[in-house]
């Protein structure tokens, strides 16, 4: 998540609810840390959906071949779980 997005959202939260930007940033970070924790360690089945906002999903990425961009040498990128987001917003 980009710092620009986080800053924009926290400033809007702070202004709308008359709280400090520090408090809004703490709330914002806590929400997304909790979502990440529940998806990775919780009993939600690897998916959290927020109606009208979007869905967070845990996806397994297989190991794959890659290369070191500095040296060009081949390497193996390890398998890992990542969290993806798909917006529910109408376009």
- For 34, half-sphere exposure in the C-beta direction (CA atoms, 13 angstrom radius) is 6
Q: Listing from the earlier edge strand, what are the strands of the sheet with 80-87?
A: 47-50, 54-61, 80-87
pLDDT of residue 84: 93
- Residue 46: count other Cβ atoms within 10 Å of its Cβ: 15
More confident residue, 70 or 52: 70
Per-residue pLDDT at 16 exceeds 70: yes
**pLDDT bracket for residue 91 (50, 70, 90):** low
CATH number for position 48: 4.10.520.10
Number of domains in the chain: 1
Mean per-residue pLDDT, 36-63: 89
Per-residue pLDDT at 44 exceeds 90: no
The overall pTM is greater than 0.75: no
**Could you list the residue range(s) of the whole structural domain that residue 33 is in?**
3-87
pLDDT of residue 89: 76
């Amino acid at each position: 998540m980009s710092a620009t997005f986080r800053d924009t959202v926290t400033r809007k939260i702070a202004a709308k609810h008359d709280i400090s930007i520090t408090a809004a940033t703490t709330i914002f970070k806590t929400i997304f840390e909790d979502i990440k924790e529940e998806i990775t360690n919780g009993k939600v089945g690897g998916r959290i959906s927020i109606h009208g906002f979007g869905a967070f999903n845990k996806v397994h990425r297989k190991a794959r071949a890659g290369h070191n961009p500095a040296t060009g040498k081949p390497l193996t990128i390890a398998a890992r779980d990542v969290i993806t987001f798909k917006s529910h917003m109408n376009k």
